[in-house]
Amino acid sequence: MSQVLNMRYPKELLKRIDAFKEKKGFTTRTQAIIYLIQYALDKSDS
């Protein structure tokens, strides 16, 4: 089962995500966003 979620982001946030993506070596913006969400969720658990 696959789910699709379309979201809109402010341009400044996209610029920061793209910079993070390049720095960490992700191939897609989606990978970077998912990584950041997982990281934040892990931090909120501790």
Q: Which pLDDT tens digit goes with each residue over 1-46? A: 678 778 888 999 999 999 999 999 999 999 999 999 999 999 998 8
Instruction: Report the predicted TM-score, pTM, of the whole model to 2 decimal places.
Output: 0.76
Task: Quote the pLDDT of residue 4.
Answer: 79
Q: What is the 3-state secondary structure (H, E, C) of the chain?
A: CCCCCCCCCCHHHHHHHHHHHHHHCCCCHHHHHHHHHHHHHHHHHC
Q: How far is CA 44 from CA 7, 11, 39, 40, in A?
A: 22, 26, 9, 6
